[in-house]
C-alpha cells in the first residue's frame, strides 16, 4: 500500500538526518544504544502520526453506510431478492 510506503520513507529520511547530525556532533557512536533509540523513537512517532492521519487520506471516497473494509466494486442494490 502506497500510504505505508510513504510513511516508511518519511521515517527513514527524518531519522537518518537526525542520526547524521548526532553522529557528527559526537553525541553517540555508530551501533550504540543512542543510535538504535533514535531510529526506534522516530519509527514510533511515524507510526502514531500515520495512524492518526490515515482518516484524512485513506477513507475519503466512502459513503456513510460503507465501512473501511467494504468492497468498493460491489453494488449493494444489484443483489436484492426482488431481482431474481
Domain locations along the chain: 2-55
User: For a pLDDT cut of 70, what percent of the chain falls above it?
Assistant: 70
In the block, which residue shows the cell 436484492? 80
CB 33 within 8 A of CB 39: no
Angle, CA 42 vertex, CA 29 and CA 46 arms, to 5°: 160
Q: Are 4 and 54 in contact (CB under 8 A)?
A: no
Whether residue 28 is predicted with pLDDT greater than 70 in this model: the reply is: yes
Mean pLDDT of the region 45-52: 92
- Predicted TM-score (pTM) of this structure: 0.61
Higher pLDDT, 38 or 59: 38
Amino acid at each position: 500500500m502506497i500510504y505505508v510506503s510513504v510513511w516508511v520513507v518519511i521515517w527513514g529520511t527524518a531519522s537518518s538526518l537526525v542520526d547524521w547530525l548526532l553522529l557528527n556532533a559526537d553525541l553517540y557512536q555508530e551501533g550504540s544504544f543512542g543510535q538504535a533509540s533514535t531510529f526506534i523513537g522516530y519509527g514510533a512517532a511515524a507510526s502514531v502520526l500515520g495512524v492518526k492521519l490515515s482518516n484524512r487520506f485513506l477513507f475519503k471516497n466512502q459513503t456513510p453506510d460503507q465501512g473501511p473494509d467494504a468492497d468498493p466494486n460491489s453494488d449493494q442494490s444489484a443483489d436484492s431478492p426482488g431481482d431474481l
